[in-house]
Amino acid sequence: MRRLLLPCLLAALFLTTRSAAAPKGTPAAPKAATAKKGVVTGSKEKAPKERPVRVVGTAPTLKPALKTALTAAMNEEALDGVDVSFIVTDLKTGATLAEAGADSLINPASNAKMITSAAALTLLKPEYRFKTDYYVAGTLKDGTLTGNLVVKGYGDPTIVSERVTKVANELFLFGIERITGSVVVDESWFDANEEARGWELEESPDRAYAAPINALSVNYNAVAVYVRPGSAPGMPAILRVDPPSERVHLSGEVMTEAVGRGVILVSQKDPDAEGTSAISRGTLLTIEGSVGVRESPARIYRRVYDPGRHFGSTLTAFLQQRGVKMRHSVVKGPVPPGARLILVDKSRPLKEIVDDLNHYSNNIIAETLVKTLGAEVVGAPGTFENGLAVARDFLEHKVGFAPGSYTFENGSGLNDVNRFSARQLAQLVRFVAADYEIATEWFTSLAVAGTQGTITHRMRDTPAQRHLRAKTGTLRGVSALSGTVVQPDGNVVAFSMLTQGYKSGAGAIWKVQNLVGSALASDGTWNADKEEGEEPELVSSASDGNPGPIEVTAGGG
């Protein structure tokens, strides 16, 4: 069921991170200008300026053609004046095969997720599952729960509408046909800080890729507004909000025209979001604009506010749809003494969740894993500070990073708070490759050139297709690509290319990365004969003897 909604959410929510705030790192030097020949000043011809040459250090064993190809790629005009950290190492021996600025500290953007996912798989283990507990606090008899339904979240970032529908059905079948009290949401597994460091730098803080991190989440704490044209010009467009929640209020109007002018949707927090007033909505959506009469229906995602109550409101809507008679009343609070656990909703295994994290560069999953590391290793409530401390300990005591040699301040890579070098990321890749417990799960989570994830449309019809696995990272002025490449003789190399301060646009940097990947996969013998296409970064009543709780597992197994 989850597959009905997940691809749409992932595509719309998380490939938009490339539009995040520009990094504050070292500014790009002015692009080297080349004077036109024949321009005369006085009686002398003005000599053309020479472009700077980036030296690429190579091992004596590196094949001449590959050395030439890598040197040419590192000296592409798109890299003029750009900060670059680049390295290629042998995956088995760790020997450096090629490097240029390999120890320079660069904003890694979403390459930070490589660290977050490796730490989570190592410390939580690939079979780890998130859970959400459902309790009855009161008396359940003859289909009526006289009391409250209590939900305690443990950070599951993968709950979508289909999962909540399934839970509502299970609760109804268990015997809950009427609830006299409220839905109580317990968010205490995480602390109250819902935004990772660096998210305050967002130019558009209401975007879904920067949604709040909470112990209770549904649809990645984002809401979709569906817009479709009216029947004729001059008619209002049809607007629908999903998932249904009384905590979300949509105001404004979109008109249908012969040719649409576009739609603007803004999400903001209701000033009374934390109150108990009946008029408190939590999330206020304002929409305006117009759509063309022949336009296809579209959906726009925005973050929600007060995610715990939003979860409870969504659950209420699906329970009511299933036929449970109840009023809309959602409150925050702990699981009370004496409450009886009736249902445990479990996520898919972490190994599958990490696949979504890295394939689609999902910020919400990444930051949830940081808090989960804090809660599981240090203790609840999970905090960003504790989770990052756990991840840094992993880097220094397991991977071998020198203390103080890097900066790791959030797990998603959004905005300008992290600094790593290409040598360090290649070192991480080699560490994972040597760890039998997580290597398969981690490497299969990376995007695959020409076929899967964020590089589906890159390096197609080149030697790198299906032979390069990597994590992308894109912010304004920052682009990263790190992973592995299988060479023609079957040897596997780790590589990392981090760039910062470019002004040519991400597409030009991606072409250089593509050249590097194709060169490594062909030992430098491949030559591009055409431009490549590019993908934008993109439950029993008290009289029944109280049997144990039902376990509902997403994805089977």
pLDDT at position 505:
87
CA atoms within 13 A on the CB side of 216: 26
Domain residue extents for the chain: 2-31+63-125+349-522, 131-347
The label of the residue with tokens 């809507």 reads 317
Apex 165 CA angle, 320 and 220, nearest 5: 115
Determine if residue 544 is left, alpha or beta; phi over 0 gives left, psi from -120 to 50 gives alpha, anything else beta. alpha
How do the residues of the chain divide into helix, strand and coil, expressed in percent and rounded to 5?
30, 25, 45
Of residues 9 and 377, more confidently modeled: 377
65-85 confidence digits (pLDDT tens): 999 999 999 999 999 999 999
CA-closest candidate to residue 368, choices 221, 482, 243: 221
CA-closest candidate to residue 133, choices 309, 344, 308: 344
Q: Does residue 552 register a pLDDT over 90?
A: no
pLDDT at position 165:
97
In CATH, 2-31+63-125+349-522 is 3.40.710.10: yes
Q: Which two tokens stand for residue 556?
A: 């089977």
Percent of the chain topping pLDDT 90 = 80
Q: How confident is residue 281, by pLDDT bands cut at 50, 70 and 90?
A: confident
**DSSP notation for 392-406:** HHHIIIII-PPTTS-
Pairing of strands 248-257, 550-553: unpaired
Q: Which two tokens stand for residue 374?
A: 């804090």
Cα–Cα separations (whole angstroms), residue 45 to 33, 175, 348: 16, 91, 69
Of residues 420 and 272, more confidently modeled: 420
39-65 confidence digits (pLDDT tens): 334 445 566 667 788 999 999 999 999
19-28 confidence digits (pLDDT tens): 334 443 333 3
Q: How confident is residue 274, by pLDDT bands cut at 50, 70 and 90?
A: low
Mean pLDDT score across all residues of the chain: 88
pLDDT at position 11:
46
Is the preceding omega at residue 381 within 30 degrees of 0, hence cis?
yes
Q: Quick check: 38 and 45 in contact, CB under 8 A?
A: yes
Q: Does residue 158 register a pLDDT over 80?
A: yes
Cα–Cα separations (whole angstroms), residue 240 to 253, 285, 487: 12, 12, 50
Q: How confident is residue 29, by pLDDT bands cut at 50, 70 and 90?
A: very low
288-330 confidence digits (pLDDT tens): 999 999 999 999 999 999 999 999 999 999 999 999 999 999 9
pLDDT at position 368:
98
Q: How confident is residue 9, by pLDDT bands cut at 50, 70 and 90?
A: low
pLDDT at position 244:
84
Neighbours of 387 (CB within 10 A): 29
Calpha distance 462→465 (Å, rounded): 6
Q: How confident is residue 396, by pLDDT bands cut at 50, 70 and 90?
A: very high
Percent of the chain topping pLDDT 70 = 84
Q: Which two tokens stand for residue 21?
A: 């705030």
pTM of the model: 0.87
247-260 confidence digits (pLDDT tens): 999 999 999 999 99
Q: Does residue 16 register a pLDDT over 60?
A: no
Q: Does residue 6 register a pLDDT over 90?
A: no
Neighbours of 481 (CB within 10 A): 29
**Single-letter residue type at 418:** N
Average pLDDT over residues 469-478: 96
421-464 confidence digits (pLDDT tens): 999 999 999 999 999 999 999 999 999 999 999 999 999 999 99
pLDDT at position 19:
37
CA-closest candidate to residue 335, choices 204, 215, 240: 215
